[in-house]
Homo-oligomer: A and B are copies of this chain.
Amino acid sequence: MVLAARPAGMPKPSDFRLEETPVPEPSPGQVLVQNVFMSVDPYMRGRMNDRKSYAKPWQVGQPADGRAVGQVVRSRAPALAEGAWVASMLGWREYFVAGPEGLNPIDPDLAPPSAYLGVLGVPGFTGWYGLKEIGRPKPGETLVVSGAAGATGSLVAQLGKAWGCRVVGTAGSEDKCRWLRQACGVDVAIDYRRAGDLYEALRPACPAGIDVYFENVGGPMLDAVLRLINVNARIPLCGMISQYNLEVPEPGPRYLFSLIGNRGLMQGFIISDHMSRYPEFVGEVGPLLKAGRITYQETVVEGIERAVEAFVGLFSGDNTGKMLVRLGPEAR
Contact = CB atoms under 8 A, between A and B. Distances in A.
Which has the most chain B C-beta neighbours within 10 Å: A237, A238, A262, A273? A237
23 contacts: A46-B261, A54-B261, A237-B257, A239-B260, A240-B256, A251-B251, A251-B253, A251-B254, A252-B252, A252-B254, A253-B256, A256-B256, A259-B267, A259-B268, A260-B269, A260-B270, A263-B267, A263-B268, A263-B269, A264-B267, A264-B268, A265-B268, A266-B266
Interface string A45-69: 0100000011000000000000000
Interface in A209-237: 218, 222-223, 237
A25 interface: no
Interface size on A, as a range, is: 20 to 34
A262 B53 CA distance: 8
Q: Which 4 A-B pairs have the closest CB atoms?
A: A251-B251, A252-B252, A259-B268, A260-B268
B240 A260 contact: yes
B239 A249 contact: no
A255 interface: yes
Contacts of A252: 223, 251-256
Interface string A249-292: 11111111101111111111110010000000000000000000
Contacts of A250: 254
A259 B249 CA distance: 14
Contacts of A254: 248-252
A104 interface: no
